[in-house]
Protein backbone atom coordinates (compact mmCIF):
# COMPACT_ATOMS: atom_id res chain seq x y z
CA UNK A 1 0.00 0.00 0.00
CA UNK A 2 1.34 3.41 -0.98
CA UNK A 3 1.40 5.75 2.01
CA UNK A 4 0.72 9.49 1.72
CA UNK A 5 3.86 11.57 2.21
CA UNK A 6 3.39 14.61 4.41
CA UNK A 7 4.83 17.83 3.06
CA UNK A 8 6.61 20.83 4.55
CA UNK A 9 5.47 22.98 6.38
CA UNK A 10 3.45 20.22 8.15
CA UNK A 11 4.53 20.48 11.82
CA UNK A 12 4.55 16.68 12.21
CA UNK A 13 7.80 16.63 10.20
CA UNK A 14 9.42 18.38 13.19
CA UNK A 15 8.50 15.70 15.76
CA UNK A 16 11.22 13.43 17.10
CA UNK A 17 10.63 9.75 16.47
CA UNK A 18 10.21 7.08 19.14
CA UNK A 19 12.45 4.01 19.40
CA UNK A 20 10.90 0.58 18.93
CA UNK A 21 11.46 -2.54 21.01
CA UNK A 22 12.28 -5.84 19.34
CA UNK A 23 8.73 -7.01 20.15
CA UNK A 24 7.30 -3.95 18.41
CA UNK A 25 9.58 -4.47 15.40
CA UNK A 26 8.46 -8.07 14.98
CA UNK A 27 4.74 -7.25 15.31
CA UNK A 28 2.56 -7.75 12.22
CA UNK A 29 1.69 -4.03 12.28
CA UNK A 30 5.34 -2.95 12.09
CA UNK A 31 6.29 -5.60 9.53
CA UNK A 32 3.40 -4.51 7.31
CA UNK A 33 4.38 -0.88 7.75
CA UNK A 34 7.96 -1.64 6.67
CA UNK A 35 6.69 -3.24 3.44
CA UNK A 36 4.51 -0.18 2.79
CA UNK A 37 7.35 2.25 3.59
CA UNK A 38 9.65 0.54 1.09
CA UNK A 39 6.91 0.35 -1.54
CA UNK A 40 6.18 4.07 -1.08
CA UNK A 41 9.89 4.97 -1.32
CA UNK A 42 10.21 3.15 -4.65
CA UNK A 43 6.91 4.47 -6.02
CA UNK A 44 8.03 8.05 -5.27
CA UNK A 45 11.54 7.46 -6.70
CA UNK A 46 13.16 8.23 -3.35
CA UNK A 47 16.64 7.17 -2.28
CA UNK A 48 15.32 6.97 1.27
CA UNK A 49 12.15 7.51 3.25
CA UNK A 50 11.73 7.99 6.98
CA UNK A 51 8.63 6.86 8.86
CA UNK A 52 8.02 10.43 10.01
CA UNK A 53 7.54 11.44 6.35
CA UNK A 54 4.43 9.26 6.23
CA UNK A 55 3.28 10.62 9.61
CA UNK A 56 4.38 7.59 11.67
CA UNK A 57 6.68 8.69 14.46
CA UNK A 58 8.69 5.52 14.72
CA UNK A 59 12.48 5.85 14.69
CA UNK A 60 13.09 4.13 11.36
CA UNK A 61 13.80 4.71 7.73
CA UNK A 62 14.27 2.76 4.52
CA UNK A 63 17.08 3.30 2.02
CA UNK A 64 17.46 2.02 -1.53
CA UNK A 65 20.80 0.28 -2.12
CA UNK A 66 22.35 -1.59 -5.04
CA UNK A 67 21.57 -4.81 -3.14
CA UNK A 68 17.95 -3.91 -2.48
CA UNK A 69 16.15 -1.90 0.20
CA UNK A 70 17.54 -1.69 3.72
CA UNK A 71 15.64 -0.70 6.83
CA UNK A 72 17.32 1.06 9.75
CA UNK A 73 15.42 1.01 13.05
CA UNK A 74 16.52 3.08 16.08
CA UNK A 75 19.49 4.38 14.04
CA UNK A 76 22.43 6.14 15.66
CA UNK A 77 25.26 7.66 13.68
CA UNK A 78 28.20 6.85 15.92
CA UNK A 79 31.02 8.26 13.78
CA UNK A 80 31.27 11.16 11.33
CA UNK A 81 34.47 11.85 9.40
CA UNK A 82 36.03 15.26 9.71
CA UNK A 83 36.29 15.33 5.90
CA UNK A 84 33.12 16.88 4.54
CA UNK A 85 31.64 17.49 1.12
CA UNK A 86 28.90 19.73 -0.16
CA UNK A 87 26.32 18.39 -2.58
CA UNK A 88 22.78 19.08 -3.69
CA UNK A 89 19.92 17.45 -1.78
CA UNK A 90 16.19 17.29 -2.24
CA UNK A 91 13.42 15.66 -0.24
CA UNK A 92 10.09 13.99 -0.95
CA UNK A 93 8.59 16.09 1.87
CA UNK A 94 9.86 19.36 0.35
CA UNK A 95 9.00 18.76 -3.33
CA UNK A 96 10.53 21.01 -5.95
CA UNK A 97 13.18 22.40 -3.60
CA UNK A 98 16.90 21.56 -3.73
CA UNK A 99 19.83 22.96 -1.82
CA UNK A 100 23.51 22.52 -1.09
CA UNK A 101 24.23 20.71 2.16
CA UNK A 102 27.66 20.09 3.69
CA UNK A 103 27.92 16.67 5.35
CA UNK A 104 30.64 14.28 6.53
CA UNK A 105 31.91 12.09 3.68
CA UNK A 106 31.97 8.94 5.82
CA UNK A 107 29.77 7.75 8.68
CA UNK A 108 29.31 4.66 10.80
CA UNK A 109 25.72 3.87 11.67
CA UNK A 110 24.35 1.41 14.21
CA UNK A 111 20.74 0.31 14.10
CA UNK A 112 18.42 -2.67 14.14
CA UNK A 113 17.34 -4.31 10.90
CA UNK A 114 13.77 -5.22 10.00
CA UNK A 115 14.10 -8.44 12.04
CA UNK A 116 15.33 -6.61 15.14
CA UNK A 117 18.94 -7.76 14.69
CA UNK A 118 21.82 -5.37 15.38
CA UNK A 119 23.62 -3.94 12.40
CA UNK A 120 26.62 -1.68 12.10
CA UNK A 121 28.03 -0.36 8.86
CA UNK A 122 30.40 2.16 7.44
CA UNK A 123 29.05 4.26 4.60
CA UNK A 124 30.75 6.66 2.20
CA UNK A 125 29.69 9.11 -0.47
CA UNK A 126 26.05 9.23 -1.56
CA UNK A 127 25.08 6.33 0.72
CA UNK A 128 26.49 8.20 3.73
CA UNK A 129 24.63 11.35 2.65
CA UNK A 130 21.32 9.50 2.36
CA UNK A 131 21.77 7.87 5.78
CA UNK A 132 22.46 11.26 7.38
CA UNK A 133 19.52 12.90 5.60
CA UNK A 134 17.13 10.17 6.77
CA UNK A 135 18.58 10.07 10.30
CA UNK A 136 17.95 13.83 10.47
CA UNK A 137 14.27 13.19 9.69
CA UNK A 138 13.99 10.95 12.76
CA UNK A 139 15.07 13.98 14.84
CA UNK A 140 12.69 16.43 13.16
CA UNK A 141 15.42 18.06 11.05
CA UNK A 142 14.99 18.82 7.33
CA UNK A 143 17.70 19.43 4.75
CA UNK A 144 16.44 23.01 4.34
CA UNK A 145 17.58 23.59 7.95
CA UNK A 146 21.14 22.68 6.96
CA UNK A 147 21.41 24.06 3.46
CA UNK A 148 24.05 26.63 2.61
CA UNK A 149 22.16 27.67 -0.51
CA UNK A 150 18.85 26.83 -2.15
CA UNK A 151 19.80 25.90 -5.73
CA UNK A 152 16.33 25.26 -7.17
CA UNK A 153 12.85 25.99 -5.92
CA UNK A 154 13.49 29.05 -3.76
CA UNK A 155 10.18 30.44 -5.07
CA UNK A 156 8.43 27.23 -3.94
CA UNK A 157 10.08 27.48 -0.51
CA UNK A 158 9.06 31.13 -0.10
CA UNK A 159 5.47 30.18 -0.97
CA UNK A 160 5.49 27.28 1.51
CA UNK A 161 6.88 29.52 4.26
CA UNK A 162 4.00 31.96 3.87
CA UNK A 163 1.39 29.24 4.49
If one counts the domains in the chain, the total is 1
CATH code at 116?
3.90.45.10
- What is the full DSSP assignment across the chain? -PPPPP-TT-GGGGSPPBP--HHHHHSHHHHHHHHHHHHHHHHTT-SEEEGGGGT--BSEEEEEETTEEEEEEEEEEEEE-S-EEEEEEE-TTSTT-EEEEEEESEEEEEEE-TTS-EEEEEEEHHHHHHHHHHHHHHTT--HHHHEEEEEE-HHHHHHHHT-
- The predicted-structure confidence for 119-144, as pLDDT tens digits, reads as follows 999 999 999 999 999 999 999 999 99
| 155 assigned to some structural domain | yes
pLDDT value of position 156: 81
pLDDT in tens, 22-81: 999 999 999 999 999 999 999 999 999 999 999 999 999 999 999 999 999 999 999 999
CA angle 119, 17, 35 (to 5 degrees): 60
- Active-site residue identified among 44, 85, 134, 159: 134
User: What's the domain range around 122?
Assistant: 11-161
Strand order in the sheet with 98-104: 84-90, 98-104, 147-152
User: So what's the pLDDT on residue 163?
Assistant: 67
Question: Is the full-model pTM beyond 0.85?
Answer: yes
Is residue 118 in a domain?
A: yes
Whether residue 3 is contained in a domain is answered as: no
Query: Is residue 156 situated within a structural domain?
Result: yes
23 is catalytic: no
* Omega of the bond leading into 9 within 30 degrees of 0 (cis): yes
Amino acid sequence: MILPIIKYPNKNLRKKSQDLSKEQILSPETQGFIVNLIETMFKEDGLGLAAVQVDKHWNMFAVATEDGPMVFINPKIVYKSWLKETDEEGCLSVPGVYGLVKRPKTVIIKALDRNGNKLSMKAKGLFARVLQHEADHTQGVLFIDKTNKITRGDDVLRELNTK
